[in-house]
């Protein structure tokens, strides 16, 4: 890194390190003074007139040396970049939102930030069917060339990243510094994303997880993307924050419906009532985004990732297994309910459910409950 580039980045890092300066206040300072270097050179009186505290003014003049060095040490690694809001390669769509992050730390393929993206988010504690749906939608959309963007969280986020990596590329937006992985169990997933996609953060290296960081990073997930798909979400879920931000940013919001008895479907149903587009196939998402994707869709074809309405095929099963499947639906049921519906003894139900799960006919859920597993194919 040249001395001039280091000095330029120091101006931006100093603003980010100053206490009490969030993205919106930094944007106002940049507009008022013309740039990060001009803010730092404005003088104490001018900065005080702009409403900055003495602590913020002092920090801008003399930023924390250890934190600066930590940022530059991270940038010394291969495949890392620091994008400033005024840079030509800062993502255009993200710059358009109300409070774009002044800085973006990127590890991986920077070019992905400029390609068409679809955000896929949802519950941290999803059903087995929700995980399968997220993987299938992400895998199919990524295979067509869309970049799947999510937040590296447990549950739907991780399934979306994993599905995308099987066929294409994905971006993870972190709620920590770019050198941290949260949750720690996703270190291998983060490594795979860095190798085949990109990790993105607005937080400086060394920043750990904090509750306020995750709603904050959600605006980046939606801001980078053409639209946001919510797979499963309870009412009050953080995924609904991402959906709301997407709507406020003028982006499309999609929601997958579920059973009225499933609490994880209620957030999606609420979004649909508020105007989100109900989807049960990836083709519908592509159709809605077609005007924005333009020629990108030429190779999409007629494929779809679809949740079928009928039960899985049971041609090769005996009469008792078929009878058990006919007594099941897509709402999870306890074994006692299945015993009552079929009249079969408990030990037979248990062994039959195990076989049906291994063969892919049923899915298991928390609490020892089971449901039919939906067929999701390209058709």
On the question of a common fold for 110-299 and 319-372, the answer reads no
% residues pLDDT > 70 (the chain): 92
Q: What is the pLDDT confidence band of residue 312, given thresholds at 50, 70 and 90?
A: very low
Q: Which long-range contacts (CB under 8 A, 24 or more apart) does 31-36 make?
A: 35/11, 35/86, 36/8, 36/11, 36/12, 36/84, 36/86
Segment 55-101, tens digit of pLDDT: 999 999 999 999 999 999 999 999 999 999 999 999 999 999 989 99
Q: Domain 319-372, CATH 2.60.40.10 — does that match?
A: no
pLDDT digit string, tens, across residues 13-25 = 999 999 999 999 9
pLDDT digits (tens, 9 = 90+) for 110-144: 999 999 999 999 999 998 889 999 999 999 999 88
pLDDT tens column, 207-255 = 999 999 999 999 999 999 999 999 999 888 889 999 999 999 999 999 9
Q: Identify which has the larger pLDDT, 329 or 119.
A: 119
The residues spanned by each domain of the chain are: 1-63, 110-299, 319-372
pLDDT at site 33: 95
On the question of pLDDT at 305 being above 60, the answer is: no
For domain 110-299, which CATH number applies: 3.50.50.60, 3.40.50.450, 3.20.20.150, 3.30.365.10?
Answer: 3.40.50.450
To the nearest whole number, what is the mean pLDDT of the chain? 88
Q: Quickly state the pLDDT bin for 374 (edges 50, 70, 90).
A: low
């Amino acid at each position: 890194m040249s001395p001039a580039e280091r000095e330029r980045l120091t101006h931006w890092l100093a603003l980010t390190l100053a206490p009490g300066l969030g993205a919106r206040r930094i944007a106002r300072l940049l507009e008022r003074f013309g740039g990060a270097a001009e803010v730092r050179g404005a003088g104490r009186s001018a900065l005080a007139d702009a409403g900055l505290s003495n602590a913020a003014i002092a920090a801008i003049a003399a930023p924390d040396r250890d934190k600066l060095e930590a940022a530059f040490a991270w940038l010394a690694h291969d495949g890392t970049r620091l994008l400033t809001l005024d840079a030509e390669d800062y993502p255009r769509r993200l710059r358009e939102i109300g409070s774009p992050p002044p800085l973006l730390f990127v590890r991986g393929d920077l070019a992905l930030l400029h390609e068409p993206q679809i955000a896929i988010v949802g519950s941290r504690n999803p059903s087995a069917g929700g995980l399968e749906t997220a993987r299938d939608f992400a895998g199919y959309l990524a295979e067509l060339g869309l970049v799947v963007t999510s937040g590296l969280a447990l549950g739907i986020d991780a399934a979306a990243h994993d599905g995308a990596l099987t066929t294409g590329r994905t971006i993870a937006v972190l709620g920590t510094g770019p050198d941290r992985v949260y949750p720690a169990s996703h270190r291998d997933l983060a490594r795979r994303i860095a190798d085949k996609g990109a990790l993105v953060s607005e937080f400086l290296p060394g920043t750990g997880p904090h509750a306020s960081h995750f709603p904050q990073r959600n605006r980046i997930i939606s801001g980078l993307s053409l639209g946001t798909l919510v797979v499963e979400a309870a009412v009050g879920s953080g995924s609904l924050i991402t959906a709301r931000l997407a709507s406020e940013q003028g982006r499309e919001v999609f929601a997958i419906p579920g059973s009225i008895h499933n609490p994880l479907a209620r957030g999606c149903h609420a979004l649909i009532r508020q105007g989100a587009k109900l989807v049960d196939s990836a083709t519908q998402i592509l159709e809605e985004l077609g005007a924005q994707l333009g020629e990108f869709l030429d190779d999409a074809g007629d494929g779809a990732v679809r949740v079928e309405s009928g039960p899985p095929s049971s041609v090769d099963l005996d009469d008792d297994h078929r009878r058990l499947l006919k007594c099941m639906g897509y709402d999870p049921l306890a074994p006692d309910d299945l015993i009552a519906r079929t009249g079969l003894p408990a030990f037979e139900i248990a062994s039959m459910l195990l076989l049906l799960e291994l063969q892919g006919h049923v899915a298991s859920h928390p609490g020892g409950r089971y449901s039919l597993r939906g067929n999701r194919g390209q058709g």
